[in-house]
Amino acid sequence: MKSTFSRSLAVLSAAGSALAITSSFCPDNGDVCFRWGVPEASASAGSGSFYFQIKAPTSAQWAGLGTGSQMAGSDMFIIYQDGNGNVTLSPRRGVGEVMPNYAKRSGLELLDGSGIKDKQMIANIRCNNCIDLSLKGTSSWIAAWKNGNSLDSTSMEERISEHDKHVDFSVDLAKATMSSDSNPFTDSNENTNSNSGSSSGGAVTQNGSGSSPSKTVLRAHGIIMSIVFIAGYPLGAILMPMLGKWLIHAGWQVVMLLLMWAGFGLGYVYARDGGYVTLIIVGIVNGGLGLQLANSSTAYIIAYSVIAGIAAILYLAAAFIGERRRNASRAKQISPQMSQEEAR
């Protein structure tokens, strides 16, 4: 009986030590958290299966974790609500500072314990050689999330808007080693260490964080357009009868026209990055109405209409070409994976 008790104690002790080194990280002491677990066999070989968890409040529209130090070339894992009390796991490939494209991954599995619990999205994930990542030593990671209404989608190719927050950090996977190749994120294994922000003694070191640059772009767009349409154009219309100098009036209106196009450009950038395509059309119409209400000359209105028409044609052409390229890229990514699966 003593021998049985000793063996049981040894098993519990080993399990406790394995769970204690599964790392957890909540950037900036926030509600979005990540964890990693690497089986000893994988850590020794430098490849194989590993586990990670993404946890975010349901107030977040989506949350994601990716490899590397930048979006370009990053292997990303995005989660969002599916509308049925569960989460959708969308593997994607970063192509730069734009929405990452869906990339099918073999060996990727959503584990037990995933779903919506206590107003939190939880994704417990197993990756068995699903990405090219060395499981030895320290690796670079990025994470991002966006607050907003639930996407309620089961599609892995769902469009997502630009993130509100982002962070880059490094993870010492040697400090996330576990003895067994099994899900470490079950309810009975919740007592793991947590590292918030940068910690010299933890497995995770935060390098930097920030908010979406689109907020600055949106603010600049609003300020410029307000100046142009609330003050600029009306004042230009007043200058002519007050001063009787058409040259001053014309010069002022030209400056306002240039500022208007600068504001339009910022609005286009924000709408493009945020996925608000309809705002581009509304902005074009609004600009024309603004010229009309400001009693601008017919020449300015005609010039604006011509430029707006050209811009609309160029945008539609660019959108068409971009969509074709994205489809071609997805086909190239999926084809080799399908060939590998067929070979198996």
> Does the pLDDT value for residue 162 go beyond 90?
no
235 and 136 inside one domain: no
Specify the CATH number for the domain of residue 140.
2.60.40.1210
- The answer to whether residues 27 and 99 touch, using CB atoms and an 8 Å cutoff, is no
Do residues 193 and 269 both lie within one domain? no
Helix count and strand count (H, E) for the chain: 7, 14
Q: Are 161 and 31 in a shared domain? A: yes
15 within domain boundaries: no
More confident position, 328 or 197: 328
- Domain-embedded: residue 200: yes
Each residue of 310-330: pLDDT tens digit?
877 877 787 778 667 766 655
pLDDT, mean over the chain = 79
The predicted structure's pLDDT at residue 291:
67
In a shared domain, residues 91 and 164: yes
pLDDT per residue as tens digits for the range 210-220: 555 566 777 88
**Coil, strand or helix: which one is 177?**
strand
Q: What is the pLDDT of residues 226-279, one digit of tens each?
A: 888 888 878 877 777 777 777 887 888 888 889 888 888 887 777 665 555 555
* Together in a domain, 94 and 229: no
Residues 89, 152 within the same domain: yes
* CA-to-CA separations, 270 to 27, 104, 130, 160, 161, in angstroms, rounded: 26, 29, 34, 14, 11
In a shared domain, residues 28 and 173:
yes
Supply the pLDDT for residue 15: 44
User: What average pLDDT does range 67-80 have in this prediction?
Assistant: 94
- Is residue 63 in a domain? yes
Q: Which domain holds residue 251?
A: 214-326
Q: Summarize the confidence of residues 105-127 as an average pLDDT.
A: 95
Report the candidate in 195, 205, 64 with the shortest Cα–Cα distance to residue 123.
64
In a domain, 120, yes or no: yes
166 and 207 together in one domain: yes
CB–CB of 63/78 below 8 Å?
yes
Based on the fold, state whether residues 77 and 110 are members of the same structural domain: yes
Q: Looking at 10-14, 132-136, 283-287, which range is the least confident one?
A: 10-14
Task: Tell whether 201 and 61 lie within a shared domain.
Answer: yes
Phi, psi of 147 (to 5 degrees): -85, 150
pLDDT at 35 over 50: yes
pLDDT band at 193 (very low <50, low <70, confident <90, very high): very low
pLDDT at site 133: 93
Count up the domains in the chain and report the number.
2
pTM of the full predicted structure? Answer: 0.60
- Judgement on whether residues 255 and 312 belong to the same structural domain of the protein: yes
Q: Select from 211, 230, 255 the last residue of a domain.
A: 211
Predicted pLDDT at 19? 43
User: Do 199 and 257 belong together in one domain?
Assistant: no
